Chains A and B, each alone.
Chain A
Amino acid sequence: MSAREDIMNRIKSALRDAPETPVVPRAYRRSSTMSDAQRLEQLVDRLVDYKANVFLTPAADVPAKLAELLAGTSSIVVPHGLPQEWLSALKDDAGAPAVHVDSPERRLTVAELDAVDAVVTGAATAVSETGTIMLDGSDDQGRRIISLVPDRHICLLHAADIVEVLPEAIARLEASRPQTWISGPSATSDIELERVEGVHGPRTLDVMILT
């Protein structure tokens, strides 16, 4: 008998008293009661608490703000679907960082990614109550590796994509896409349970919220 059959038989035998399947009570909050402004404020509060840097930027000012944040940076990586206009202020400027585009046609190697200073991505959605930003590998967010290896992650999020509670985000996300949920820069509490930001993932997380 295969291990699979064996285990299935063991399970069925273990359940021969036919335990009943309870109805799941879903009395917890599944939708937001907050206004847009309250959600925004809550998200900012949580992100700051996690030691992320937060910038509220009107959509029109994104290129200038991005150029400001990247001043002095020598190279960045962006996914191929990142809106081109966001990077418009980086061009034609002598001090602008080199921009590497990661695309299905030209995938950057680990070594190349390790050599860049920062990554700029979009985001799928964010949960204000927990301060969580979700990436789902869409074209403006790219492969999981590009938002992982560079030491600094600049993440651009539309204010309209902020929800309050986790169930709202779950309803928006598609399970089969590879996802990374990010709540602040990488951290550890392994030594005396003291939270320390910055271990293996990007040690700096900049979140630009487009208002």
Chain B
Amino acid sequence: MSNTFLGMPTLPVFGQGNINATESFPQAARRELANTQLRANLGHATHTIRDKRLKVVAELPDWEDMRNAGSAIKDATMANLPALLEQFEANFTARGGIIHWARDAQEANEIVTALIRETGETEVVKVKSMATQEIGLNEYLEEQGIAAYETDLAELIVQLDHDKPSHILVPAIHKNRSQVREIFLREMPVVDPNLTDEPARLAEAARKHLRKKFLSAKVAVSGANFGLADTGTLTVVESEGNGRMCLTLPETLITVMGIEKLLPTWSDLEVFMQLLPRSSTGERMNPYTSLWTGVTPGDGPQNVHLVMLDNGRTAALADEYGRTALNCIRCSACMNVCPVYERTGGHAYGSTYPGPIGAILSPLMTGIKSEENSSLPYASSLCGACFDACPVKINIPEILVHLRGEDVDSKRAKLKVPTQMDLMMKGAQWAFSSGSHLNLLEKGLPLGKLVAGRDKVIKKLPGIAGGWTQSRNIPAPPSQSFRQWWDKEHKPGAAVVPGTTINEGEQA
């Protein structure tokens, strides 16, 4: 097996589905920011989980060693992806599993639908899965007359409320307990009217609600956290036991997994099953992890399928500077530490993948030319907290900057005439190329004071500079520049007065 590519290079083929925002980040963020309940819930939740993560990470003397190993394993996976996929396929198939390949969301949805139809069922139970959210499977199945029941508590809350997940790990993080209680009372067909908002009681209500579904389900749809190439093993990491129910009880199991989820060897799991739980829920280990390799006669589903999904992953892989985004193990640590996410919440990002990872992954998968996703790389202050928290050391800030560059380039390429930004940059180039150019420009400073008026602030800049003043004011510029002041003070013969301040005139 060789990875050398000898054919014609193909243009990247981008993904579709729920990775495309429907409005720009600034627009969505403005709306979400107005929701004070959401912000309070989010602030509480992200801080709780951050503290837990720090505590359990600090417990391990070799956390950094593990991150280094994790990062290298994922880089090695991407570098050898074709061979590893073939190896995984051979092992999974040898044990009775059936593999399907899907170029994009549409194809994946069609495959899953056809597999369900073959069983004659019109209902499926689902384990929380990012991949199936990405392709919009539930909505597609509904159109085809198949009901998909989410069984993860948070997904259930979101589904019952006809809402969208706002966080990849705890999708209902934007709801507090009393809101959850209201949703249950309103939407569950059979529910104790005296239900309190204690999380334990709410969890019990979910158990009762889903129990019959689990015990009678014939078909389950899941995602997968890892696929191990050298053994053909799949892994689902979870807490509640809904995953175990779905992976064990039904006759048919259909798993949808992105092609980047592989790890080369079984023993690589020893790294990732330490990195993932501590980074995501801040636990030493999640309550349940299930592993299966194809079909086990007499134990669990006997009709086992896996849909391998591209949907823009190969496009992300083609970006030399962005491809490490595919190393993501969806732990959500970057979200929980992000000052932007903490305020806007997950909905503002539009895509299935919110937060810092979403801000790079979504545009990488859809292409930066995707109208609404092109604003995502700007949804960051580049503070770097996400990079520090990431268990596989994805340099998110660096990729954000890279994608901003791509965005500017692509917008420039679209227009024949130079953009405002081009003109500004050209102007800056001229201004900074010589001291006399700068001097000339600085003569215009008093003009700025004039614009600022009596209250000495500029509230709105023209053109694209207006982006800066959208959410902040600019103080009036001083009447002279440092260089002008220096020249005046150091004119031959001028006495340097100790204690002179630059803007004496300003203070009046």
A7 and B101 contact, Cβ closer than 8 Å, known pairs A129-B284, A182-B287, A200-B242: yes
Q: List, in ascending order, chain B residues with CB within 8 A of A144's CB.
A: 244, 247-248, 290, 299-300
Chain B interface category by residue count: 35 or more
Query: 1/0 contact trace for B66-100 toward A, CB 8 Å?
Result: 10110011011011111001000000000100001
Partner of B233, one of A129, A169, A176: A176
Structural contact, B44 and A181, CB atoms closer than 8 A: no
Q: Does B487 contact A (CB under 8 A)?
A: no
Partner of B5, one of A12, A107, A110: A12
Q: Does A92 contact B (CB under 8 A)?
A: no
A200 and B298 contact, Cβ closer than 8 Å, known pairs A170-B266, A185-B287: no
Structural contact, B72 and A11, CB atoms closer than 8 A: no
In the complex, the chain B residue whose C-beta lies closest to that of A167 is B270
A62→B368 CA distance, assembly (Å): 64
Query: 1/0 contact trace for B115-141 toward A, CB 8 Å?
Result: 000000000000000000000000000
Structural contact, A27 and B292, CB atoms closer than 8 A: no
A144→B48 CA distance, assembly (Å): 34
Query: A-B pairs with CB below 8 Å: how many?
Result: 273
In the complex, the chain A residue whose C-beta lies closest to that of B211 is A200
Structural contact, A14 and B210, CB atoms closer than 8 A: no
Structural contact, B284 and A183, CB atoms closer than 8 A: yes
Structural contact, A13 and B5, CB atoms closer than 8 A: yes
Structural contact, A27 and B270, CB atoms closer than 8 A: no
In the complex, the chain A residue whose C-beta lies closest to that of B75 is A22
A193→B85 CA distance, assembly (Å): 36
Partner of A178, one of B13, B176, B299: B299
Q: List, in ascending order, chain B residues with CB within 8 A of A199's CB.
A: 153, 203, 206-207, 239-242
A17 and B72 contact, Cβ closer than 8 Å, known pairs A190-B154, A200-B245: no
Q: Does B288 contact A (CB under 8 A)?
A: yes
Q: List, in ascending order, chain A residues with CB within 8 A of B66's CB.
A: 28
Q: Does A85 contact B (CB under 8 A)?
A: no
Chain A binding surface, main DSSP class = loop
Structural contact, B287 and A50, CB atoms closer than 8 A: yes
Q: Does A3 contact B (CB under 8 A)?
A: yes
CB distance from B438 to the nearest CB of A (A): 41
A169→B148 CA distance, assembly (Å): 36
A103→B37 CA distance, assembly (Å): 53
Q: Does A186 contact B (CB under 8 A)?
A: yes
CB distance from A143 to the nearest CB of B (A): 4
A9 and B244 contact, Cβ closer than 8 Å, known pairs A145-B249, A193-B170: no
Chain A, 59-112, CB within 8 A of any chain B CB? 104, 107, 110-111
A76→B296 CA distance, assembly (Å): 24
A11→B103 CA distance, assembly (Å): 11
> What 4 pairs across the A-B complex have the smallest Cβ distances?
A201-B241, A14-B318, A200-B241, A12-B5
Enumerate 20 A-B pairs (CB-CB under 8 Å) in ascending A order: A6-B101, A6-B103, A9-B7, A12-B7, A12-B82, A13-B318, A15-B78, A24-B69, A27-B68, A144-B244, A144-B248, A171-B267, A176-B233, A181-B285, A187-B240, A188-B199, A188-B203, A193-B173, A196-B203, A200-B211
